[in-house]
Copies of this chain bind each other. A is one copy, B any other.
Amino acid sequence: MADVAALAGVALKTVSRVVNSEPGVSPELEVRVKRAIEQLNYRRDANAATLRRLGRKTQTIGLVLEDVSNPFSSELHRAVEDAARERGVLVFAGSCDEDPERERELIGSFRERRVDGIIVVPASNDHTYLYEERRAGTALVFVDRRASHLDADSIVSDNFGGATQAVSHLLEHGHRRIGFLGDLLSISTAKERLRGYAHALDGAGIRVDDDLVRTELRDPDAAAQAIDEMLALPEPPTAFFTGQNLLTIGGVHALRRAGRQREVALIGFDDISLADLLSPAISVVAQDPQALGRAAADQLFRRLDGDTASALHQVIPVTLIARGSGEIRPRSSTPS
């Protein structure tokens, strides 16, 4: 900046004014400064600028995802990026792989770099450590899952409602024995989906059979194996509800391997790409990761703009998409 000032023959402050398009610079000098900037290929140092500037906005936010390469996460990421871009804000993204330790590390790194706010898909079960953080002024929005032990904004899918709807759908198609495959119960969404499953069964007067419920499944293989085992039961399920996209994929694999994809029903939570091209096409309860991301970013920016209302808890609706696999009726179902 000093070089630019020297080349244009003006004071530092004048260059600063031109760079920030502040008023009160004569057109003549403005031209001279701009020419010098171009000539020297100068770019203001945003870090130094925010150092002195009041309010100290870095025009930067942090985003903690489960895994940037997971389709759900990455669509959410894109929605956040788009919202941020409208405001000239850049996004730091990081994956924490369900590791609370990593979540803390990431948030720590974000804080060191003085991000204006953080959007987080939490892995941790205790967010009290963020209490001080928030008091220090960093805006914080939870997305996909609620915060635990901390009263913070959250935007989540209707996990309970969606699961209830999916299982009710299977019940309506005559199923009475429905298997449930779920993720770690430490993840609140997984717990909610299991709750929805139980609720729907309860509404139909069916007791939850522990043999038909498998949780803590983390990948397609684990899900496939769980299905193999359930199909080998004396009274096997006639339908499955898979509570997460990877588990759905594992489920499809298992049913195909057993050659029973046309007789055992399947509904998954969360849409998977190409689900419509399989035969049977896979019915799912689709979440809207873009809506989640957009709503989270909007709320974050609302906070950054000074909104101090009490914590917002927004629920984004989900949609049951009937494509075929969820509409298979049980073979031996007694006619109504």
Binding site for B on A (CB under 8 A): 41, 43-48, 50-51, 58, 60, 67-71, 73-75, 77-78, 81, 85, 88, 90-95, 108-114, 132-133, 136, 249, 252-253, 256, 272-275, 277-279
Whether A95 and B78, one on each chain, are in contact in the complex, defined by CB atoms closer than 8 angstroms, is yes
Point out the residues of chain B lying under 8 angstroms from A78, CB to CB.
67-69, 95
Point out the residues of chain B lying under 8 angstroms from A69, CB to CB.
71, 74-75, 77-78
Whether A41 and B91, one on each chain, are in contact in the complex, defined by CB atoms closer than 8 angstroms, is no
Point out the residues of chain B lying under 8 angstroms from A88, CB to CB.
109
Q: Residue A68 contacts which of B45, B68, B109, B111 (CB distance < 8 angstroms)?
A: B68
Report the Cα distance A85→B67, complex, angstroms. 13
Report the Cα distance A72→B74, complex, angstroms. 11
Whether B92 and A43, one on each chain, are in contact in the complex, defined by CB atoms closer than 8 angstroms, is no
- A249-B274, A277-B252 known; A112-B45 Cβ under 8 A: yes
Report the Cα distance A113→B114, complex, angstroms. 12
Please indicate which of the listed interface residues A71, A253, A273, A274 has the most CB atoms of chain B within 10 Å of its own CB: A274
Report the Cα distance A182→B312, complex, angstroms. 46
Point out the residues of chain B lying under 8 angstroms from A95, CB to CB.
78, 81
> Could you pull out 30 A-B pairs where Cβ atoms are within 8 angstroms?
A44-B112, A46-B113, A46-B114, A47-B113, A48-B51, A67-B78, A68-B77, A68-B81, A69-B74, A69-B75, A69-B78, A71-B74, A71-B273, A78-B95, A81-B93, A81-B95, A85-B94, A90-B92, A90-B109, A90-B110, A90-B113, A91-B93, A91-B94, A93-B93, A249-B273, A249-B274, A252-B274, A256-B277, A274-B275, A274-B277
Point out the residues of chain B lying under 8 angstroms from A249, CB to CB.
273-274, 277
Q: A69-B78, A85-B94 are in contact. List 5 more A-B contacts (CB 8 A).
A: A71-B71, A90-B94, A91-B93, A273-B274, A279-B279
A293 to chain B minimum Cβ distance, whole angstroms, is 10
Report the Cα distance A252→B132, complex, angstroms. 53
Report the Cα distance A75→B67, complex, angstroms. 10
Report the Cα distance A92→B74, complex, angstroms. 14
Q: Residue A136 contacts which of B41, B47, B68, B274 (CB distance < 8 angstroms)?
A: B41
Whether A113 and B274, one on each chain, are in contact in the complex, defined by CB atoms closer than 8 angstroms, is no
Whether A43 and B112, one on each chain, are in contact in the complex, defined by CB atoms closer than 8 angstroms, is yes
Report the Cα distance A109→B92, complex, angstroms. 13
A85 to chain B minimum Cβ distance, whole angstroms, is 8
- A46-B114, A69-B74, A114-B46 known; A132-B41 Cβ under 8 A: yes
